[in-house]
Amino acid sequence: MTSISNAKSNDQAGVWQRLIKLPIIREIAESNGAQRGLIVTGLSFIVLFVLVALFAPLLAPYGFAQLKGADGATFGVLEAPSAVHPLGTTSTGYDVLSRVLWGSRTALLAVCLGVVLPIVIGVPLGALSGYFRGPLDKVLVTISDAIYVFPTLLLAIVVSLVISGGQAGMWPGLLSAAVALSVVYIPQYFRVVRTEVSRLSSEGFVEAGRAMGAGDLWVLFHEALPNALRTVPLIMTLNAGDAVMTLASLGFLGFGIEPTAAAEWGYDLNKSMNDVSNGVWWTAICPGVAIIIIVLGFTLFGEGVNDVADPRSRKAPSIAKLLKREQTARGAASGAAAKEEAK
């Protein structure tokens, strides 16, 4: 019976050890105190944001550009919150709640495009530059340094004017924001990955791959690059918040997406400026709070992950270490019990 219970305990510990190796669970398990609070709070906001964006058509009582109800009656202008319009209506007659919910989908698309494109371009370039060095490395580093200092919002405005003349449909507007973010964010991924790959290229496991006859590209993408991506998720979370802010800034300045093409929080904030001076608060508060919650969620999660990755911030044993100690203690106890039974 003792051996069976020990075997079950070891199996359970093994399951926990596999679970805490998953990306997000690993950060939570290795965190403690304020770190865990930041990660869990930020992750809660992010999950809420994603769920609302995915189920916006089901949650929103009306379409983002709908001006009439099911009975054919036109919505009133600047109506206060009521049972028909829980968050009121805008100066153009749009339902505020529907615009906020549908705007989360536009923001999620901006985050995906603004983060995925820089990773797809910046990570491979950084890996090639850090591994092979030479003239290619010098050229890419020079270009990266020149782009890195360019203001993101100014670049986004220029790209928006070039692509769509300042006013665009949903996809042209998202594309202009994504291109501007990509140009600015590519140097970040490039520099981080280049530094890590350059450091890892002289490590023993990389040299062993070369000694076994593997080609440079195989060694780079199978050995060096996977171990150089530890800080990429942190950069992703911080850039995701910037993507939401950039899209909202374009809309607020009048270079964003047309209101009939998609719901966008920055545009709604721009149109609500005159409403606030007239005592109409709901048209500005609701999209503004939505932006704050999303950006705060990505920021808190990124800061929490950054603290976990920094060894200087660890003051107490983490759950991962405690589980490992417990597993070791159980293994030692089961070994001692087996010896006693053998005697």
Q: What is the pLDDT of residue 305?
A: 77
Residue at 301 is within a domain: yes
Q: What is the pLDDT of residue 104?
A: 94
Residue at 22 is within a domain: no
Letter string b/e over residues 272-297, b meaning 16 or more CB atoms within 10 A of that residue's CB: beebeeeebebbbbbbbebbeebbeb
Q: Please, which pLDDT band fits residue 322 given cuts at 50, 70 and 90?
A: very low
User: What are the backbone dihedrals phi and psi of residue 314, each rounded to the nearest 5 degrees, phi first?
Assistant: -90, 115
**More confident call, 252 vs 322:** 252
Please give the DSSP secondary-structure letter assigned to residue 76.
P
DSSP character string of 250-319: HHHHT-SB-TTT---HHHHHHHTHHHHHTT--HHHHHHHHHHHHHHHHHHHHHHHHHHHH-GGG--S--H
Instruction: Assess whether pLDDT exceeds 60 at residue 246.
Output: yes
Q: What is the pLDDT of residue 110?
A: 87
Closest CA to 13 of 295, 326, 343, 334: 326
Tell me if residue 33 falls in helix, strand or coil. coil
Residue at 341 is within a domain: no
Closest CA to 275 of 286, 287, 266, 283: 283
**More confident call, 295 vs 254:** 295
**More confident call, 258 vs 60:** 60
Q: What is the pLDDT of residue 327?
A: 57
| Range with the largest mean pLDDT of 159-168, 215-224, 294-303 | 294-303
| Range with the largest mean pLDDT of 48-52, 178-182, 261-265 | 48-52
Residue at 5 is within a domain: no
- Mean predicted lDDT score pLDDT of the chain: 79
Residue at 17 is within a domain: no
Q: What is the pLDDT of residue 22?
A: 53
User: What are the backbone dihedrals phi and psi of residue 50, each rounded to the nearest 5 degrees, phi first?
Assistant: -65, -45
Q: What is the pLDDT of residue 316?
A: 46
Mean pLDDT within 310-332: 53
Q: Are 266 and 317 in contact (CB under 8 A)?
A: no
The structural domain count of the chain equals 1
Measured distance CA(42)–CA(4) in Å, rounded: 41
CATH number at residue 55: 1.10.3720.10
Instruction: Assess whether pLDDT exceeds 50 at residue 297.
Output: yes
123 contacts: CB under 8 Å, gap ≥ 6: 189, 190, 193, 225, 229, 232
Residue at 342 is within a domain: no
Token reading at 308: 């976990």
Q: Mind listing the pLDDT tens digit for each residue in 41-95?
A: 888 999 999 999 999 999 999 999 889 888 888 898 889 899 899 999 998 899 9
- Percentage of the chain lying above the pLDDT 70 cut: 78
Residue at 12 is within a domain: no
Range of the domain at 171: 28-331
User: How many helices (H) does the chain have, and how many strands (E)?
Assistant: 15, 0
Instruction: Assess whether pLDDT exceeds 90 at residue 219.
Output: no
Measured distance CA(223)–CA(214) in Å, rounded: 11
Residue at 261 is within a domain: yes
Q: What is the pTM of this model?
A: 0.77
